[in-house]
Amino acid sequence: MTLSMKEAHQIKVAPDVEGLLPAIRERWSPRSFTERAVSTAQLAALFEAARWAPSSSNEQPWRYILGLNGSATHEKIAETLVGFNRHWALKAPLLVLGTARTLGGKRNAPNAYAMYDLGAATALLVVEAQALGLATHQMGGFDHDAVRKALEIPEEYAIGSVIALGYQAEPAELPNETLIARETEPRSRKPLNEIVYSAWDVPAELG
Amino acid sequence: MTLSMKEAHQIKVAPDVEGLLPAIRERWSPRSFTERAVSTAQLAALFEAARWAPSSSNEQPWRYILGLNGSATHEKIAETLVGFNRHWALKAPLLVLGTARTLGGKRNAPNAYAMYDLGAATALLVVEAQALGLATHQMGGFDHDAVRKALEIPEEYAIGSVIALGYQAEPAELPNETLIARETEPRSRKPLNEIVYSAWDVPAELG
């Protein structure tokens, strides 16, 4: 029997560590979306969150291309997705492509933090989405060259992720058993002592 | 006359857009830190936030090196900072270096999303810090080769930012007028229509 959205949530939510922000704790990346549209006010809040992200020398390299379901942009992004992602992501009311300007400063020099800063801004966007009751799922599984060509993205902009965004639907609405199983299985993360060191390879003591 | 921390906050806080998460709205990057230590429980919450970030193929490439003020690691990181950053960052109770594993998957292939994912995890960390009443300031201004050597970071890990972290102090406690002026001047960001497009170079209508 397939678990409900609420039951899946209980499995997916991160541990209740004291002080952990609910929007960070409760965010995960579902694949089952309803067709319900996201409002313009919600979109404004989402990109406002991204806009205020920190960036190296305040370059703000992030540029997002917003594909509303039914638009040519949504269709162009959707066409570049790998098969596995196409099975679920086409239904999402929004497909957003994140890109980052790789040159910056007065001398138009390479910006080594372009992708780092795009990742940061997009992280704020997905946390903000969670706070608004929306779900997001970022994908790297798409044809990067094809999306660049289809959307006419200049070479100096690096391609980031495609973000599927909208209201979450029941796991049972996904089109196949593999996707339903993923939607309800536990998440995994490395323990803290594998990601925080007090010196290289020496785990920090975080209790 | 120098503005107080509270007055600076009113200048720095992002506009009150409906639904914008307070921890995102109120986060900015001060340079004036007190010497007050961050607790182990707070550190655990900070890195828990980073730990649950999404990543490409769930590779979780982020590895953080935690330098508590007074430790050899803090000193080693501090020594690599450019002069401008050294003037203020040495006082911070924590200097954290973020790094990202650039190889991943079963075949140990290059991970194009390593820096992107490190940026994302670090963004969650700094938002969580804000939620805990802590301040953060990320820097790219340090000698990347020197920090790699000093901390013996393997070549397959890319260097991200150094995060100064702790409790914020009054702007007037900064060591010079330039730093005090920066601490109290308005922030700037590109307008939404320069970062969100419905097609390349066509601003999306976000009201």
Confidence at residue B108, expressed as pLDDT on a 0 to 100 scale = 95
Q: Are A47 and A104 in contact (CB under 8 A)?
A: no
d(CA A129, CA B41): 27
- Calculate the alpha carbon distances from A196 to B26, B49, B96, B206 in Å: 26, 12, 10, 39
Q: Are B93 and B35 in contact (CB under 8 A)?
A: yes
With contacts defined as CB-CB under 8 Å, which chain A residues touch B196?
Answer: 47, 63-64, 66
Encoded amino acid at B86, one letter: R
What residues contact A155, with CB distance under 8 A and at least 6 apart?
Answer: none
Is B161 close to A113, i.e. CB distance below 8 A? yes
Is some CB atom of chain B closer than 8 A to the CB atom of A8? no
Is A112 close to B140, i.e. CB distance below 8 A? yes
Number of neighbours of residue A199 by Cβ within 10 angstroms: 16
Is some CB atom of chain B closer than 8 A to the CB atom of A150? no
Give B109→chain A minimum CA distance, Å.
Answer: 15
Secondary structure E strands in B70-134: 94-101, 103-104, 109-110
**End-to-end Cα separation, chain B, in angstroms:** 39
Is B206 close to A19, i.e. CB distance below 8 A? no
Q: How many CB pairs below 8 Å do chains A and B form together?
A: 228
User: Which candidate from A18, A131, A197 shows the least CB-CB separation from B63?
Assistant: A197
Q: Are B120 and A136 in contact (CB under 8 A)?
A: no
Give B20→chain A minimum CA distance, Å.
Answer: 6
Encoded amino acid at A40, one letter: T
| Domains of chain A and CATH, by start | 5-203 (3.40.109.10)
Is some CB atom of chain A closer than 8 A to the CB atom of B44? yes
Is some CB atom of chain A closer than 8 A to the CB atom of B112? yes
Give B176→chain A minimum CA distance, Å.
Answer: 20
Given 3-state DSSP classes, what are the helix, strand and coil percentages for chain A, each rounded to the nearest 5? 40, 20, 40
Is some CB atom of chain A closer than 8 A to the CB atom of B64? yes
Give A1→chain B minimum CA distance, Å.
Answer: 27
Q: Are A50 and A62 in contact (CB under 8 A)?
A: yes
What residues contact A6, with CB distance under 8 A and at least 6 apart?
Answer: none
Is A45 close to B131, i.e. CB distance below 8 A? no
CB interface of A with B, residues 12-41, below 8 Å: 14-15, 17-21, 23-25, 27, 29, 40-41
d(CA A14, CA A64): 28
What residues contact A115, with CB distance under 8 A and at least 6 apart?
Answer: A100, A158, A160, B113, B115, B116, B119
Is A21 close to B23, i.e. CB distance below 8 A? yes
pLDDT tens by residue, chain A, 207 residues: 789 999 999 999 999 999 999 999 999 999 999 999 999 999 999 999 999 999 999 999 999 999 999 999 999 999 999 999 999 999 999 999 999 999 999 999 999 999 999 999 999 999 999 999 999 999 999 999 999 999 999 999 999 999 999 999 999 999 999 999 999 999 999 999 999 999 998 999 886
- Closest residue on chain B to A136 (Cα): B54
Residues of chain B with confidence (pLDDT) below 50 = none
Is A207 close to B68, i.e. CB distance below 8 A? no
- Check if the interface score ipTM surpasses 0.90: yes
- Closest residue on chain B to A120 (Cα): B120
With contacts defined as CB-CB under 8 Å, which chain B residues touch A199?
Answer: 65, 72-73, 151-152
* Residue of A72, A70, A73 whose CA lies nearest to A96: A73
d(CA A190, CA B60): 8
